[in-house]
Amino acid sequence: MENRDYEQMNPPGGHPVKMWTRGVPVEPEAKEQLSRLARLPFIYHHVAVMPDVHLGKGSTIGSVIPTLGAVIPAAVGVDIGCGMMAAKTTLRAADLPDNLGKLRSAIEEAIPHGMSPKTRGHKGRDAGSWNNPPPPVDAGWARLKDEFDQLCRKWPKLRNTNNYKHLGTLGSGNHFVEICLDEEGFVWLMLHSGSRGVGNAIGTHFIELARQDMRKHMVNLPDQDLAYLEEGTRHYDDYVEAVGWAQKFARVNREVMMHNLVRAVRSVIPKPFETHVEAVNCHHNYVQQERHFGKDVLVTRKGAVSAREGELGIIPGSMGARSFIVRGKGNPESFNSCSHGAGRTMSRTEAKRRFTVQDAREATAGIECRKDEGVIDEIPMAYKDIDAVMRAQSELVEVVHTLKQVVCVKG
């Protein structure tokens, strides 16, 4: 029998599904979802599955989906370009203040988020947006505005989204900002966010257009969230253009937040320091053209990170667990990919039903963070064991730095 680092499913009438999940539980519903995905005719070669895989909308989170001649908007999702940014500083653990609460408050003031004092009282789409955007937001928006104006000529409704006022903001849910320490005691700044309201609007719009196309052409799908856009059609070309811009927005969003995060840390810590000593900015919900097994294909990473040989990436653990800066090994069978985190083992609703505020406090002991009902769904026990996840993908990445958070601001 061939000795390989992945397990393989062979769905009847479908393409192979290669899974880097040894030692990590995978729910039966996720396997069934992968089987449905692998039966689509435009899947190229095989589907690659990362160890953080779990049930998602249409396709599993933690999957790498190569396609020829079509794209699935719901596989990319509505948080287009969601990803991570991390930067090492020259600060050491001893340079941090004894009262980490001051540091957390400075971060909450500098970066609007779901519970930000700047936006308290706002609801719905306006939660976590700027009231008075600072200069870094203007500088970032200048890099995005011309392309955005072009998109708005096609879809005027995009102007009604919180685009400019969401740039440099965190959002809610599992988005976060953290101060971490690496194995040598150096301080790292890390954050997780995406394309915010405008990316949501773009994703939602094209998911519906794909469903309309399926109805128009009477395409029978096992799941309407697998609705796709065919290459050569107007909707396909428009989606590629719009999703590319949203991914650029997400990257700039993280850069603006990092700028403001550095400023917030400097307002609390008087010691001069440098940052971006080692900086990584990577998507984990996105689509782009790549070359694999001799063909140019579209690769959708739904909760997965690019891990080309030598490429740096970020794999965060859950709140209270370790995170990792990794270097890709360029494994061709995974389409040069790795996991984007630990991966949930239960829904947010189930986590809130099963755990208490006291459980959250105990799980995040020693970390300056919220410890209330609003973050119970992000409790570490709702996620897979990050150490098992890392072992399962040892042939995909090598660990460069191990990070442990000391301050965490949740969206």
Residue 355 half-sphere exposure toward CB, CA atoms < 13 A: 27
Which of 282, 286, 285 lies closest to 308 in space, CA to CA? 282
Max intra-chain CA distance, the chain:
65
Residue 39 half-sphere exposure toward CB, CA atoms < 13 A: 14
Question: Rounded to an integer, what distance in angstroms lies between the CA atom of residue 182 and that of residue 389?
Answer: 19
Q: At what angle do helices 196-216 and 234-268 cross, to 10 degrees?
A: 160
Q: For residue 378, give the DSSP letter.
A: G
- 45 noted as active-site residue: no
**Phi, psi angle pair for 201, to nearest 5°:** -65, -40
Two tokens, residue 64: 């790498």
Per annotation, catalytic residue among 166, 192, 284, 340: 340
Q: Which residues pair with 8 in a beta bridge?
A: 18
Q: Which residues pair with 229 in a beta bridge?
A: 71
Q: Is 189 helix (H, G, I), strand (E, B) or coil?
A: strand
Catalytic residues: 340
